Amino acid sequence: MVQVFINDFERFCGMLINQVDLCSDEVWTATDGKYPYWWHIMHSIAFTEIYSADADATTKIPYSMPEIMYSKEPENVLSKEGLIAIILDIRETARAYMKGMTDERFTEVNHKLSKLYGKETTQLGALIAILRHMCYHIGCCDTILRMHGIKGVY
C-alpha cells in the first residue's frame, strides 16, 4: 500500500519540476492565481517538508512560516534553479519518510502534525495530506499557465 503513495508522490514531484521548467519569466511572478506562480510551488513543496520532515529537522525553505502561509509577501523571489534545488532536496526528505512507512504504521499518531493541526493526526493522514496538497497546487499552477497560453502538465 505504501508504494501507491510513493508512486503518486514521485509523479507529482515530476509535475512540479515540469511546471517550473514550462513557466515563462513573465508568468513566474504573475499574480493571476492571487499569489505569484512561483509562490504556489514554493508553498506546496514547503508543506511537503512540513508533513514529512522530523520535528527537529532544519528547513530547506528560505522563508518564514507567515511567508509560506501567504500571510506575508516574501521580500525576494526564488529563481527557477533555486526552486528546483529545493524541490529535489525536499523530495529526498519525503522519500525517506515514505520509505520508513509500513501499512502497520498508518494508524500511528503523527505527533508533529497533530500539534500543528491541534487534533490527532495519523501517519496515513500525513501521507494523504502530502498528495492532496501537491495536487491542489499543481492544479492552480496549470490554470495560471493555461491563462497565459502555456499547456500545463495535465
Query: In Å, what is the CA distance from 141 to each residue of 13, 27, 36, 78?
Result: 13, 10, 10, 16
How much is the average pLDDT of 6-26? Answer: 97
SS3 62: coil
Mind listing the pLDDT tens digit for each residue in 30-50? 888 789 999 999 999 999 999
- In this prediction the pTM is 0.93
Which pLDDT tens digit goes with each residue over 69-118? Answer: 999 999 999 999 999 999 999 999 999 999 999 999 999 999 888 988 99
- β-strand partners of 109: 122
| pLDDT of 9 | 97
**Nearest alpha-carbon partner for 154 in 28, 3, 6, 12:** 12
**Cell, residue 127:** 501521507
- Nearest by Cα to 47 from 142, 128, 120, 106: 128
First-to-last C-alpha distance (Å) of the chain: 25
Question: What CATH architecture does domain 2-147 belong to?
Answer: Up-down Bundle (1.20)
Domain definitions of the chain by residue range: 2-147
